[in-house]
Amino acid sequence: MSKLKTLLAQLGYRADNRVDALRARLRKRLGYSYAPLLITPYRTYGTADEIFVAGRVMENRGELEPQDDDTLWDNLEAMYRRFASREAPGVRLAAHYATVRAQTVSDAEGYYQTKFRLPAALTPPAGWIKVRMEAENAADYAQTIAPAEADVLIPPATAQYGVISDIDDTVVVTHAPHLLKMARMVFLNNARTRMPFPGVASFYQALQRGAGGQDQNPIFFVSSSAWNLYDLLVDFMELNQIPAGPLLLTDYGANQSGFLFSGHATHKLEQITRILTTYPQLPFILIGDSGQRDPEIYQQVVRAFPERILTIYIRDVSQAKRDAAVRLIGGALQADVPMLLIADTLAAAHHAAAQGYVQPEAKAGVHVNVIEDEHAPTVAEAAAEAATGAVKDTVKDAKNTVKNVKDSVEDAASGAANEHEQT
């Protein structure tokens, strides 16, 4: 069955690529021009010796920034525009950093990626650096394609460890194991209405600061969410003050090994392996959830990279039967790495403080953040509350104005009556 599935996936992948290529050739032959094309670089990472860049070239979908008053239909339309993307294959791109230049070409789905070595004389500063991306054959698409800047993270020498975290049902509530709930959560919400788990922002900030308070430990987000959701996830993390990190998502649809969702474990293992290989001297904390297969994936990581994993935190979002299976995996790993099935973020913060991964006062910070998150309205709800308050103030002002006018009229009438009596 698995061989048949792989064969069908390969056939689907080839057919999809041929259709994309045929469509591109027809557009060019018939003289159909592309809408304005947009280079969208993704957040990636690198070292003092090597930089990795990736992104996508697509027709500009227009402004997708969420608004406080977006309706369910607004969110659904924005999501449709994200997934109904029109990619631009064959765009030749040049990546520039200082005096170094590398070239790549967008594939049939518009994706591009490349990495390039840096000369010994050129050492990039720690933190986020900018890599300029330029299209070299924009004339082939009868337009000018604006250059873009890619954000690339270079972890500092002060980093004591790295963090690799899932996103769905680990950072943000998604209900990934339940298809209908997940669809409603993803398609009918936006970055302002989706909610993080309580305390996540403070905990991840504490992990980034580390035990020294200024360690600047890198955080990598590895998820099976589609690249089409990239802008939404960036907005969500910025709005909720979750530390920025490379986002390593996936392409939905057929590929050479499987169909939609089938590459979940493969994708995560490949990305995590690449990160651990890139930073061989850095130990890591892994964070995931019990809803899908994070425990099994992380177990394979521990086996492949013994002594590289400090701790595994698994957020408990499953039922008793699945919890028992996760605990069995944790038991099998106990001699090598602690895997904690945690009920909430505060439990992870307590353990991290006890192990010296974060400062002791981080527990109190996470505790306060949990209380704030549990009682705070969403950004949209806060805006609605503010709007309601503004309306109430306007009504109050109107009532005062009416009262003042009424008083003036009564005073004028009283004055007129007095004058009439005197005459």
Superfamily of domain 157-376: HAD superfamily/HAD-like (3.40.50.1000)
What's the whole-number mean pLDDT along residues 116-132? 94
Task: State phi, psi for 396 to the nearest 5 degrees.
Answer: -60, -45
The SS3 assignment for 198 reads coil
Q: What Rg value do the Cα atoms of the chain yield, rounded?
A: 27
Burial class (CB in 10 A: 0-12, 13-18, 19+), 138: middle
CB atoms within 10 A of CB 79: 20
- Token match 């525009």: residue? 81
- Token match 């969702």: residue? 261
Give the CA-trace dihedral at 343, 286, 156, 235, to 10 degrees: -60
Q: What is the model's pLDDT at position 20?
A: 54
Q: Calculate what percentage of the chain has a pLDDT beyond 70.
A: 72
382-395 tens-digit pLDDT: 545 545 544 455 54
180-218 tens-digit pLDDT: 655 666 665 666 777 888 999 999 999 999 999 999 999
CATH domain 33-154 topology: Immunoglobulin-like (2.60.40)
212-265 tens-digit pLDDT: 999 999 999 999 889 998 999 999 999 999 999 999 999 865 444 444 444 678
Q: What is the DSSP letter of 195?
A: -
Q: Does the pLDDT value for residue 62 go beyond 50?
A: yes
CA 322 to chain centre: 26
Mean pLDDT of the chain: 82
The SS3 assignment for 314 reads strand
Q: Is the Cβ–Cβ distance between 309 and 334 less than 8 Å?
A: no
Higher pLDDT, 380 or 246: 246
29-51 tens-digit pLDDT: 545 567 889 999 999 999 999 99
CB atoms within 10 A of CB 316: 17
Q: Does the pLDDT value for residue 346 go beyond 80?
A: yes
Tokens coding 295: 């425990």
Q: Where are the domains of the chain?
A: 33-154, 157-376
- What whole-number distance in Å separates Cα of residue 363 and Cα of residue 347? 9
Lowest mean pLDDT across 170-179, 278-287, 350-359, 408-417:
408-417
Q: What is the model's pLDDT at position 261?
A: 43
Taking every pair of Cα atoms in the chain, the longest distance, rounded to a whole number of angstroms, is 110
Q: What is the model's pLDDT at position 260?
A: 41
Residues constituting the chain: 423
Tokens coding 357: 């991964």
Q: Is the Cβ–Cβ distance between 75 and 183 less than 8 Å?
A: no
Q: Does the pLDDT value for residue 352 go beyond 70?
A: yes
- What whole-number distance in Å separates Cα of residue 43 and Cα of residue 150? 7
When pLDDT is cut at 50, 70 and 90, the band that residue 161 belongs to is very high
Closest CA to 145 of 70, 93, 210, 71: 93
